[in-house]
Structure 1
């Protein structure tokens, strides 16, 4: 079965949405690299690479389904710097919520069009988004708890540094 045109359009868009997410996280990593928070820099860099792997998952799926791949530009992220680590993680969490809505839209349309292979792929992404939202929200909660206490902020930073690829 061919991918329905409207589903295909959203899949092609989602490929670039994932690259845009990587772009955001690389920007956040660069912001943190210029700060004392190297654990956050590392976490964001690993997250950027994960987003790129998500884009490749869609790219490979399109190729396996012999579907046309459309090139498009990747927009510049809205911000290059943040007021605080909390500000950055709030932005990351909000972005993950947006990605969840994008994935859900594809899942719903694929099911409506009886494109169950795409729906299955999107089900994988939905489960991944539960993890993505949870992880970023945990940092928001930790940093909110830390407030302006530098010792606690560096504790959360150390927690971030424990993430491995």
Structure 2
């Protein structure tokens, strides 16, 4: 059974995961509109992943006898000045998600909620991967700078990203 405090904190994270999904969907649409279909694909997959993260947390709350309380999703930006600006915003956002996950881990430890602590290990690992992947794209974007061919090649590389659901099976 989840404590009320843990249930509320996980519900807040569920909302944050849906906000993240909405942000990445907005980024995907912005890049598609600008003709950068590979970057649009990358963010579309991020959108789906964030939805899965919310679903995983919802399943955990329900499995532990809690109640999922879906809240309204706040507005997200709809345009970015450049691919670099969008990916820098993404890294900043992912670091804030990491801080939220770490706070959930601290709460789970304080509440002696070992089931939640165990579930959250997956999210800690996921955040390491998220930040590393985005930093790699930022590094590549900085290397190509204003080179349109370099941007084109990076966009083609990002078009090859394939969705893999962590909740499949």
What's the TM-score bracket when you normalise by the shorter of the two chains?
over 0.9
Residues 5-154 of structure 1 mapped to structure 2, 5 A cutoff: 5-77=4-76, 79-154=77-152
Which deviates further from its counterpart, 24-33 or 66-75? 66-75
1:164 equivalent to 2:162? Answer: yes
Contact 2:2–2:65 (CA under 8 A) maintained in structure 1: no
Task: Give TM-score, length-normalised by structure 2.
Answer: 0.94
Please report the RMSD computed on the Cα atoms of aligned residues, expressed in angstroms. Answer: 0.8
Distance 1:70 1:34 in 2: 34
Distance 2:130 2:16 in 1: 15
**1:89-146 alpha-carbon deviations (Å, 9 max, x no partner):** 1111111111000000001110111101101111110000111111111111110111
Q: Which segments of structure 1 move beyond 2 Å, counting only runs of 4 or more?
A: none
Task: Give TM-score, length-normalised by structure 1.
Answer: 0.96
